[in-house]
């Protein structure tokens, strides 16, 4: 039923460099996004996977765009918006912060290290503001802990059609699990 449709799916966690060896990241495995890719392929869609750090195999027949950081993810999606697609499923766990400065050499171990962080771009909100017409379906994900109260505000603020909110602190839910709530 998705034959002739082009879906873009993001998956995995972005990494923000501290130095060439270390990064700030998150616990995403890419499992949710890759499951969405497999389901879309099974239903006949053409799928482009924008893959950040993945710990799961990518289904055969998937067009893959590899990214590392939030900025890379943004740049890849801006290019795909220009080409057009029918739906974007933004399952990637995008870093909310990055170091203000990163070293171009490996930092030596010392007594301590202080990192100054700045917010990253809200990639999904930017895509929602820039897509043309006809407007593709935009789906976001929100990993929360303890409550899903912020989900409705995120849905409005990001300008998406659907927001899937998970309390990743609940047993059987969250990163790398076979089930979710």
Per the DSSP assignment, residues forming a β-bridge with 88 are 8, 138
Give Cβ neighbours of residue 59 (< 8 Å, ≥ 6 apart).
Answer: 34, 37, 38, 41
∠ Cα 26 49 123 (to 5°): 55
26, 53, 166, 180: the catalytic one is 26
Q: Which value, to the nearest 10 degrees, does the dihedral of the CA atoms of residues 127, 50, 91, 174 take?
A: -150
Concerning whether 26 is annotated as a catalytic residue, the answer is yes
Sign of the four-CA dihedral 75, 131, 51, 169: positive
Catalytic residues: 26
């Amino acid at each position: 039923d998705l034959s002739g449709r082009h879906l873009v799916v993001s998956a995995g966690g972005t990494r923000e460099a501290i130095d060439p060896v270390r990064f700030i990241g998150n616990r995403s495995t890419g499992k949710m996004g890759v499951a969405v890719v497999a389901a879309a392929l099974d239903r006949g869609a053409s799928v482009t996977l924008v893959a950040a750090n993945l710990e799961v195999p990518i289904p055969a027949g998937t067009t893959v765009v590899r990214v590392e950081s939030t900025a890379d993810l943004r740049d890849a999606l801006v290019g795909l918006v220009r080409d057009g697609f029918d739906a974007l499923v933004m399952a990637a766990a995008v870093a909310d912060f990055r170091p203000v400065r990163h070293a171009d050499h490996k930092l030596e171990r010392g007594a301590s290290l202080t990192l100054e962080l700045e917010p990253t771009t809200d990639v999904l909100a930017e895509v929602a503001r820039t897509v043309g017409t006809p407007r593709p379906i935009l789906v976001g994900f929100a990993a929360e802990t303890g409550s899903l109260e912020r989900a409705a505000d995120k849905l409005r603020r990001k300008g998406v059609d659907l927001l899937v909110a998970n309390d990743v602190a609940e047993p059987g839910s969250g990163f790398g699990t076979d089930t979710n709530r």
